[in-house]
A and B are shown apart, each in its own frame.
Chain A
């Protein structure tokens, strides 16, 4: 998984590369100084993420890659004055005040996006079975008790709980209780 840094300034290029390697020393990073070779480099290296400054970004470039199948994600470098039409092609931007944390966030954002694509569609809605389990957790039952009540194994309940936590972003039993009440899954007494 290659990351390409397209930027005329040595200092900026080196800085970004340095941070990328600090975040992940195994990350393959290619650099490009000459805007004329931009398209060819992308075709050759097939980066999944490209950091590029305004010198590299213009309408005709984006037009030329419009129909290519594997388009990388573009992050603009110091693109404050760039045309809006070009700006719209960028997924993120960084500037002189950006920190390591910003770059980390960008990396996390897009590596997550990629894994999502592999798993396909949004499966964040609770299934009926999972709703049953939430209801019982909210009533204060233990995994074992829920298993007995629903005629399932404790192991299955544990799996359900993991999925529920992943989907809802709620880890604790009392958090799930609040969720259950808000969504009218159980009555308050």
Chain B
């Protein structure tokens, strides 16, 4: 038995930044957050914004269907071979945090089969406020909440809101209809997150996913630097 960590053989292990052939693997960004907050819509918008400048792929984690993957396929945001669905056995947070093996396999297969990738987006199944991604699976994570889920969510905090590398408060277009106070959400988020960034967006607005796409470009620049 040898105890060095060279991991020769076909499969890289977990977070290794290099693939077995020595090349740098794709940057992996996770998107988590409560059910229906706009994760898939954000992934679709990011694909449209970035696909001409980057080589992209997506892994979805659906809880009991393939709906998210099928939505992305229907919308044709990427060619089908660049979209993979992982089955999570009724436990979406387990698949992104405690036992990431199926997701790592999906990520690895995408890199093997569609060639060199710059970026892989991993969408978690909608879950609760404590669901965060393992550092063994993603390099950075975005937590997506929406204004309609209650404007007290940033105040409540929890690992997703507090520690995600980027907090996205989505569906700002709905704020007037659900009585959400965006100023209060921003102040609470600031109090929970200190210097960590927060983006308020409406995918129905002209600017759409622009700020999040810019943040992703920055992450990628840092990754390849």
Please determine whether chains A and B interact with each other in the same assembly. no
Residues on A close to B: CB < 8 A? none
Residues on B close to A: CB < 8 A? none
